[in-house]
Amino acid sequence: MEVPVFDNLADGLLMSGVQAWQSTGNCLDKDPDLFFPERGASTRAAKAICNACEVRVECLEFALENRISFGIWGGKSGRERRLMLRSRREVSQRSSPDLTIL
Ligand code: SF4
């Protein structure tokens, strides 16, 4: 998969469709490479910035809803978001069992 390259994170956010919360993120004036690290690079600095961000919940939900698989969004990596989505699916399936097997 080709990973998009942005001059700054604001451009990245614009590319994905601006939401009101995106204009107040802590990352807007930060180095985007922190949030889109090379495979195996540390995500600690980006996550620390996210943890202090007032729109963290909105950011994470946006990434989950749009199945964004790369980068740190809402303090979570792509792998962590995939696990969250899987967990949500499992909870949803448990709370809405398939009645056709009765
Ligand atoms: S949670 Fe992180 S990636 Fe999302 S807007 Fe805030 S600082 Fe940026």
Question: 6-43 pLDDT, tens per residue?
Answer: 565 556 655 555 678 888 999 999 999 999 999 899 99
- Please tell me the distance between residue 17's alpha carbon and the centre of ligand 1 in angstroms: 15
Instruction: Give the total residue count for the chain.
Output: 102
In this structure, what token pair is assigned to residue 10? 């604001």
pLDDT band at 101; cut points 50, 70, 90: low
> Each residue of 14-24: b (16+ CB within 10 Å) or e?
eeeeeeebbee
Within 6 A (CB) of ligand 1 lie 25-27, 35, 49-50, 53, 55-56, 59, 72-75
Please report, as a single letter, which amino acid is at residue 91.
V
Planar angle of CA 58, 61, 64, nearest 5 degrees: 155
CA distance 54 to 61: 13
